[in-house]
């Protein structure tokens, strides 16, 4: 459930009237998503043409100071030919506005559905789309530090505490301590950097058949190691949902699709096993924190941290490093 804020019909009509998109016909809350409130908006213009948009109201997890970066990035990538939604600017030319103290933005609706059991063809298309984003983002002037980097993982996992981690799984605290030490000692410097999506899970990709029709939810986008984004996407796409089974055909297809647009350098390739361990720790950290800190009556069901502990064990096994070999 991801509608945290209730908006009355009159309020919604007034918000939509701030944009040059016609009159409001319907507004339906969207159940998917966890961070922000989203509505599917239908409008009609003077000619009677129906149009669809997504209205997002940013809740506490999104820092509104970051919105110009996120929203300008969408427009930049869309102008560069990437399948990302454009933002609709209001009558004042602003990409976001405030309602009752909360920021909101209207963005283009893109068709497509999120796949839950991707095929290799779909993984290939996602790899290519990710590479297209990396190339198009190279000319984006904005920068944003990664607020979900190594120090944040350490902080979140520290906040969980050894007892908290042990309540999730008896061996988790030990695994986490080992991994954080290895990542801190060996995290690469000198690899190409740029703007990355940093959360390209299947639920953030819209597809029709084997084609990517939309890359959405850029609210973790930041400036970081480009190949780390490949590692995040690999961790997100190339395992069964519970992390228990690695899916080699998806892995090969994702990397091949990526390299069909942006070949990886030998240095990036050889860093991928470690970057993938980092990616697994990143999602283990937020999931473990949420697992221990989400109130029982919250609207959101926390995601299983162990699904990323299992991926981590896979990536940390030197016998599996060949997965990333050219
Ligand atoms: N531009 C878009 N076009 C079509 N559907 C979208 C678009 N943006 C978001 N959605 C829908 O809204 C849902 C939640 O959006 P998302 O940005 O992932 O929210 P959250 O940040 O809360 O996770 C998506 O799963 C998708 O169904
Ligand atoms: N992809 C993350 C959760 C982030 O939530 P999102 O709805 O903003 O994509 C995970 O699976 O842990």
- Cα–Cα distance measured from residue 78 to residue 89, given in angstroms and rounded to the nearest whole number: 14
Q: Note the pLDDT tens digit of each residue in 45-87.
A: 989 999 999 999 998 778 999 999 999 999 999 999 999 999 9
What is the pTM assigned to this prediction? Answer: 0.96
Q: Is the dihedral of CA 225, 230, 231, 232 positive or negative?
A: positive
Task: Give nearest CA residue, ligand 1 atom 27.
Answer: 32
CA distances, 227 to each of 74, 135, 185, 274, 275 (Å) = 20, 12, 18, 11, 8
Q: How far is the CA of 109 from the centre of ligand 1 (A)?
A: 9
Q: Note the pLDDT tens digit of each residue in 266-315.
A: 999 999 999 999 999 999 999 999 999 987 776 778 899 999 999 999 99
Interface ipTM: 0.96
Q: Which protein residues touch ligand 1 with a CB less than 6 Å away?
A: 2, 30, 32-36, 38, 54, 85, 107-110, 203-204, 214, 216-217, 219
Q: How far is the CA of 267 from the centre of ligand 2 (A)?
A: 28
Q: How much is the CA Rg of the chain, to the nearest whole Å? A: 20
Q: Note the pLDDT tens digit of each residue in 136-187.
A: 999 999 999 999 999 999 999 999 999 999 999 999 999 999 999 999 999 9
Within a 10 A sphere around the Cβ of 65, how many other Cβ atoms? 9
End-to-end CA distance of the chain: 41
Atom of ligand 2 nearest to the CA of 308: 12
Atom of ligand 2 nearest to the CA of 34: 7
Q: What is the domain class of 9-108 according to CATH?
A: alpha beta
Structure confidence at residue 1 as a pLDDT band (50, 70, 90) = very low
Q: How far is the CA of 212 from the centre of ligand 1 (A)?
A: 15
Could you tell me the fold of the domain covering 120-324?
A: Aminoglycoside 3'-phosphotransferase; Chain: A, domain 2 (3.90.1200)
Domain extents in the chain: 9-108, 120-324
């Amino acid at each position: 459930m991801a509608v945290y804020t209730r908006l009355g019909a009159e309020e919604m009509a007034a918000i939509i009237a701030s944009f040059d998109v016609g009159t409001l016909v319907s507004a339906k809350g969207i159940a998917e998503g966890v961070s922000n409130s989203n509505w599917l908006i239908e409008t009609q213009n003077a000619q009677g043409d129906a149009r669809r948009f997504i209205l997002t109201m940013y809740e506490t997890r999104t820092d509104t100071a970051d919105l110009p970066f996120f929203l300008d990035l969408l427009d930049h990538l869309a102008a560069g030919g990437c399948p990302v939604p454009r933002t609709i600017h209001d009558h004042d030319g602003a990409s976001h506005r405030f309602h009752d103290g909360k920021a909101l933005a209207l963005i283009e609706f893109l068709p497509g559905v999120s796949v839950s059991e991707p095929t290799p063809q779909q993984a290939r298309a996602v790899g290519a789309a990710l590479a297209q984003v990396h190339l198009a983002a190279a000319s984006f002037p904005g920068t944003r530090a990664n607020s979900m980097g190594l120090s944040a993982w350490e902080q979140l996992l520290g906040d969980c505490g050894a007892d908290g981690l042990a309540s999730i799984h008896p061996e988790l605290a030990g695994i986490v301590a080992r991994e954080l030490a290895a990542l801190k000692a060996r995290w690469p410097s000198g690899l190409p950097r740029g703007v990355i999506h940093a959360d390209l899970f299947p639920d953030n990709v819209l597809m029709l058949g084997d084609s990517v029709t939309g890359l959405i939810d850029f609210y973790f986008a930041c400036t970081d190691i480009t190949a780390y984004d490949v590692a995040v996407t690999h961790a997100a796409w190339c395992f069964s949902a519970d992390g228990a089974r690695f899916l080699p055909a998806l892995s090969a297809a994702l990397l091949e699709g990526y390299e069909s647009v942006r070949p990886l350098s030998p240095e990036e390739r050889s860093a991928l096993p470690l970057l993938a361990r980092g990616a697994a720790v990143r999602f283990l950290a937020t999931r473990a924190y949420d697992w221990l800190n989400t109130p029982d009556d919250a609207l959101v069901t926390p995601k299983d941290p162990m699904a990323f502990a299992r991926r981590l064990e896979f990536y940390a096994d030197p016998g599996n490093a060949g997965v990333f070999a050219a």
